Amino acid sequence: MHYATIKDCDIANGPGVRVSLFVSGCTHRCKGCFNEVAWDFHYGEPFTEETVQMILKMLEPAHIQGLTLLGGEPFEPENQEPVLELLRAIKMQYPGKSIWAFSGYLFDKDILSGRLGPWEVTKEYLSYLDVLVDGPFVLEKKDLSLRFRGSSNQRIINVPASLKEGKIVLWEDWQGFERGIK
């Protein structure tokens, strides 16, 4: 896997101050994509053990709430195993830090179907996620007032609650998060 960027102080892609990893490679090709250069699976830097160690170090300060995965597409079959290794290391070292991911795939129709890779890999990957913002960016549904989403078709999903209940549980509903705000 390659990655485009790592930010060590991101306040736009999840709650609190976060480290964000923009992986390379995306097959969705959404019209109006914010990061077209990262469609190429070989864009940017190779993702290595040194990269994992660098991210672990960035996550160390107490004010860093967690990691956010973006892209590119963190759920492309080619990207799942390297991301999984990172998530394992984070959960072992920082079990209290949250993990968010943004994906153009749909949680129920694409990711849970198991068609994006060996199911054992996808299943363990999902077990480390707190929140998944799913669905492609749809230019016609773009809405700048949305928090953590680019277009209104995307959903902010509470992953552990959804897996437990066997249906989509939205993060805002589960938290009573900012009621009345889109």
Q: Tell me the closest approach of the beta carbon of residue 165 to ligand SF4, in angstroms.
A: 26
Q: Which stretch binds ligand SF4 (CB under 6 A): 11-19, 24-32, 75-83, 138-146?
A: 24-32
Q: Is 44 in the site for ligand SF4 (CB under 6 A)?
A: no
Select 28 or 88, whichever has its Cβ closest to ligand SF4.
Answer: 28
Asked whether position 71 contacts ligand SF4 by CB under 6 A, the answer is yes
Does the protein bind ligand SF4 through residue 26 (CB under 6 A)?
A: yes
Site for ligand SF4 in 126-145 (CB under 6 A): 136-137
Between CA 115 and CA 121, with CA 116 as vertex, the angle to 5 degrees is 105
Q: Are 21 and 68 in contact (CB under 8 A)?
A: yes
Q: Which of 14, 15, 66, 72 binds ligand SF4 (CB under 6 A)?
A: 72
Query: What's the rounded Cα separation, in Å, for the pair 82 and 48?
Result: 9
64's tokens: 């860093």
DSSP letter string, 49-114 = HHHHHHHHHHH-STTEEEEEEESS-TTSHHHHHHHHHHHHHHHHH-TTSEEEEE-SS-IIIIITTT
75 binds ligand SF4 (CB under 6 A): no
Tell me the window of 1-9, 28-36, 49-57, 140-148 that interacts with ligand SF4 (CB under 6 A). 28-36
**Among the listed residues 107, 103, 116, 122, the one whose alpha carbon sits nearest the alpha carbon of residue 22:** 103
Residues that bind ligand SF4 (CB under 6 A): 26, 28-30, 33-35, 38, 71-73, 104, 136-137
